[in-house]
Structure 1
Amino acid sequence: MRIVIAEDSVLLLDGLARLLRAEGHDVTGFRTAEEMVAALSAPQAGLPDLLVTDVRMPPSHTDEGLRAAVHLRSLHPELPVLVLSQYVEQRYAAELFAHGTRGLGYVLKDRVADVEEFLDATDRVAGGGTVLDPEVVSQVLARSRHDLTDLTPREREVLGLMAEGRSNAAIAESLVVGLPAVEKHVTNILTKLGLPPDADTHRRVLAVLRWLDLNGDLR
């Protein structure tokens, strides 16, 4: 695979690059999110098979890496992204999930110590799977502790399609129903999952994560 890594720690960047190259992958590393975005945005640059990025990078060491991943993922929803972090940045994590969970991973760096687990995560995310650290799920879902038992079969079907990253219009087309019917189902789903309107909360993302969590698709 062609893998791009954005990591400001020289030791970690070198270690990850050596590990992945030993597996036969073509690896390019960047120490700033700005350099990484510029390289991937160049006219002649094709998308890598996987982007691995840290969250906190220069110059402010806050959330540059994750914001860059959100930006690239919004432009290229098919780009597999594996986020490595010491922290859970809930706001941008939710934004990242908002563009679909396929080919997406968010793993805390403590887990990277397990080489086999890390390599497995890279393979699964590059292959279109979802790999989310249990602590990430726990924090992002902290405000939503409802299960799916109150949902009707149709609402569960709609939520399952939401988990695939489909828009309301795409769901309506798939189910051969009108858009207003889908919008009503989505509203009912969010209400039943205890996700009231909140400008600071990505309710659709939380609903999807609840679905994935309870169906064993978060690994």
Structure 2
Amino acid sequence: MRIVICEDNALLRAGLGRLVSDEGHEVVASLPDAVELQTKVAETGPDLVLLDVRLPPTFTDEGVRAAMALRDENPGLPILVLSQYVEERYATELIARSKGALGYLLKDRVADVAEFLDSIEQVAEGGTVLDPEVVGQLLGRRSRDSQLDALTERERTVLGLMAEGKSNAAIASQLYISEGSVEKHISQVFQKLGLGAETGGNRRVLAVLAYLGVEIDESGGAR
């Protein structure tokens, strides 16, 4: 996998580069800010962009704005955003502008190397991986939704784990049920949320967006 890293902290930037390189991935660009990010992405054609939410010069929302600009130019480009702590407004904006291939993780998660590398793989493959703390905060502000109210407690639990980027196998292991049972629960979730096979986009991603209260337009995209 070809990866572009954009992180102002030199030690973390080097550490991330070493981490993904040791896993067999190629770092095609390593940047301290977003000034040349779009140019480097255009030149290298990466499979994933890994960037910080807060970047120079103001360390406020440069990373978020850079991610949105990349999304506008390359709608299918997988982006994994790292943040020191949950920035709810930024997370909501990014999720609302994405139809998939998005990760939003707290930097503490990098300490769990295996889980972090798995998140990279999932996002690169078009999935959505959200930090459990991000999911928790967004759910805390989500208004009630009649479709979600129709889900059983177990179906909501499965959908919540999907929002965290868990695979069917991981969900089955955590809930002590079979993968077949997980698949049945997910099928029911899709049905109750009106996500038929003909729905545009990745149904798994769209279900997560609905769960987090992000509106889905008629084409199956987020708005």
TM-score in terms of structure 2 length? 0.67
1:142 aligned counterpart, secondary structure:
helix
1:113 and 1:8 mapped to 2: Cα distance?
Answer: 18
Which ranges of structure 1 fall in alignment gaps of 5 or more residues? Answer: 166-204, 212-219
Instruction: Provide the residue aligned with 1:82 in structure 2.
Output: 80
Are 1:209 and 2:209 an aligned pair?
Answer: no
For residue 182 of structure 1, what is the aligned residue in structure 2?
Answer: none
Displacement of 1:155 in angstroms is 6.5
Correspondence 1:156 to 2:193: yes
Aligned to 1:124: 122
Structure-2 separation of matches of 1:19 and 1:89: 25
Q: CA deviation at 1:158?
A: 4.7
SS in 2 for 1:34: coil
C-alpha separation between the residues in 1 aligned to 2:55 and 2:196? Answer: 35
Q: Does 1:29 align with 2:38?
A: no
Equivalent of 1:134 in 132, 135, 144: 132
Partner of 1:15: 15
Q: Quick one: structure 1 residues 131 and 25, their matched pair in 2 at CA, closer, same or farther if it must change by over 3 Å?
A: same
- Flag structure 2 segments of 5+ consecutive residues without an equivalent: 152-189, 215-223
Superposed CA deviations along residues 135-188 of structure 1, whole A, max 9, x for unmatched, are 11112222126461348x9772159948748xxxxxxxxxxxxxxxxxxxxxxx
CA distance in 1, matches of 2:202, 2:211: 9
Q: Does 1:51 align with 2:49?
A: yes
SS in 2 for 1:5: strand
Q: Which has the larger radius of gyration?
A: 1
Classify the secondary structure of the residue corresponding to 2:115.
helix
One-letter code aligned to 1:103: A
1:107 partner amino acid: L
Contact 1:6 1:29 in 2 (8 A): yes
Query: Judging changes above 3 Å, is the alpha-carbon distance between structure 1 residues 159 and 9 closer, same or farther for their aligned structure 2 residues?
Result: farther
SS of match in other structure, 1:33: coil
TM-score (ref. length: structure 1) = 0.68
For 2:70 and 2:115, locate their aligned partners in 1 and report how far apart those are by CA, in whole Å: 25
CA drift at 1:95: 2.2
